[in-house]
């Protein structure tokens, strides 16, 4: 299964018919009886064409092309008339061919109609089921735009995992979202109704990651109006756009170009520091990771000191900083620093130890 949240699990029946080496795309989309109906119908059609051509050739002595043409116009009942006058044997053979082929054609047409109708019904029901699941989400992230930045954010959230919904206007890109098993809404992120369908009223955060600063500005204004408590993170290309987005209601604005330029300069001036941060920030690293953990009002770590918590001694984790609920940041806190409810701990260490700390906080 592609990387991502298992939001669209594919369920196969226990009938034993699924075989990746033999199954066609029709087998994956439609029931076996419909597939058998079509396979049987087309096989029978070929047999009738061959039998009719041979019959006219033997009975009337016609050339292959004339016999095939007579068979085709007889089967399709177009009424063009005979290629040549028929003998009594030819007339009898034609009547048998008509009675046989009419039932066969109706059989095939019924199968094709069923596939088209069921395919449309499945698509509508599948979309309604997806919208129902999106409507039940709480504290999720809405990502507007599935370009290079948006797709990377989705991969990171899926690895966490953290629930999210992608808003994308391009039908081609939404096909990729389905393949990656991501929740999505097909529409314009600047539109109120589109954001409502993405569950903006119950969302925790919105990321405006489309390519245009003007569109990101419009999305930010719309989102802030629909949900005043929403945390909005927006993309910008320059400092002027950053100021406008902050004024429009964005909580944070990120410029990929400025960050990229700053990192390249740091790689030249302080390469060892950059290497260290790369290890700490890369999720795939087993050596060291940097994580933030929220301390709840009820929990084992609330109202204790760092020494008493055992974060350093028992879990072998480094507390880089503590962000207080007021917004104050305490860097390199001492062992006697008090951990209070609502604090956010910025921790560095191995993933397995970080997971243990998250479990302790949840208790």
Q: Which residue in the block uniquely carries the two structure tokens 């998250």?
A: 358
Question: What number does CATH give the domain 31-131?
Answer: 1.10.287.70
What tens digit of pLDDT does each residue of 115-152 get?
666 555 555 556 677 788 888 899 999 999 999 899 99
Residue 265: is its pLDDT beyond 60?
yes
- CA atoms of 195 and 144, how far apart (whole Å): 9
φ/ψ of residue 164, rounded to 5: -150, 160
Comparison of pLDDT for 20 and 128, the residue scoring more:
128
Average pLDDT over residues 99-116: 72
What tens digit of pLDDT does each residue of 294-326 get?
887 666 677 788 888 888 888 889 899 999 888
Can you give the residue ranges of every domain in the chain? 31-131, 137-255, 270-362
Q: Which residue in the block uniquely carries the two structure tokens 């004024």?
A: 247
Query: How remote is the C-alpha of 157 from its chain's centroid?
Result: 12
Maximal C-alpha separation, the chain: 110
Q: Which residue in the block uniquely carries the two structure tokens 């795939």?
A: 284
| Contacts (Cβ under 8 Å, ≥6 apart) of 131 | 197
Q: How confident is the model at residue 205 (pLDDT cuts 50, 70, 90)?
A: very high
| Contacts (Cβ under 8 Å, ≥6 apart) of 201 | 226, 227
Instruction: Read off the pTM.
Output: 0.57
Residue 244: is its pLDDT beyond 50?
yes
Model pLDDT, residue 98: 81
Average pLDDT over residues 208-220: 93
Whole-angstrom CA distances from 54 to 66, 127, 176 are 11, 50, 50
Domain 137-255 has CATH 3.40.228.10: no
User: Token pair of 176, please?
Assistant: 């990729």
User: Token pair of 218, please?
Assistant: 């419009």
Question: What number does CATH give the domain 270-362?
Answer: 3.30.70.1450
Q: Which residues pair with 338 in a beta bridge?
A: 305
Query: Residue 4: CA atoms inside 13 Å, Cβ hemisphere, count?
Result: 22
Q: How confident is the model at residue 16 (pLDDT cuts 50, 70, 90)?
A: very low
Q: Which residues pair with 55 in a beta bridge?
A: none
């Amino acid at each position: 299964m592609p990387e991502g949240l298992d939001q669209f699990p594919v369920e196969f029946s226990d009938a034993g018919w699924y075989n990746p080496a033999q199954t066609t795309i029709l087998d994956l989309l439609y029931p076996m009886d419909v597939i058998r109906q079509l396979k049987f119908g087309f096989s029978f059609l070929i047999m009738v064409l061959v039998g009719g051509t041979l019959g006219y050739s033997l009975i009337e002595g016609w050339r292959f092309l004339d016999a095939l043409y007579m068979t085709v116009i007889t089967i399709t009942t177009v009424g063009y008339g005979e290629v040549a006058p028929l003998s009594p044997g030819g007339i009898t053979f034609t009547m048998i061919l008509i009675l046989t082929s009419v039932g066969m054609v109706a059989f095939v047409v019924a199968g094709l109609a069923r596939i088209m109708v069921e395919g449309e019904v499945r698509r509508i029901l599948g979309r309604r089921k997806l919208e129902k699941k999106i409507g039940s989400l709480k504290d999720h992230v809405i990502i507007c735009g599935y370009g290079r930045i948006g797709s990377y954010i989705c991969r990171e959230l899926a690895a966490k995992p953290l629930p999210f919904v992608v808003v994308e206007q391009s039908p081609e890109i939404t096909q990729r979202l389905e393949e990656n098993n991501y929740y999505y809404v097909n529409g314009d992120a600047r539109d109120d109704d589109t954001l409502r369908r993405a569950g903006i009223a119950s969302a925790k955060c919105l990321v405006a990651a489309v390519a245009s600063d003007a569109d990101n500005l419009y999305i930010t204004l719309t989102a802030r109006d629909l949900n005043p408590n929403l945390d909005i993170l927006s993309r910008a290309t320059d400092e002027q756009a950053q100021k406008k987005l902050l004024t429009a209601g964005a909580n944070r604005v990120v410029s990929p170009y400025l960050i990229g330029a700053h990192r390249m300069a740091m790689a030249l001036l302080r390469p060892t520091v950059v290497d260290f941060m790369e290890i700490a920030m890369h999720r795939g690293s087993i050596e060291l990771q940097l994580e933030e953990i929220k301390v709840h009002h009820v929990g084992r770590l609330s109202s204790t000191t760092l020494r008493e918590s055992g974060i350093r001694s028992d879990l072998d984790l480094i507390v880089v900083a503590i962000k207080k609920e007021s917004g104050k940041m305490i860097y390199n806190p001492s062992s006697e620093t008090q951990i209070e409810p609502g604090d956010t701990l910025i921790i560095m260490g191995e993933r397995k130890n970080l997971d243990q700390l998250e479990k302790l906080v949840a208790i």
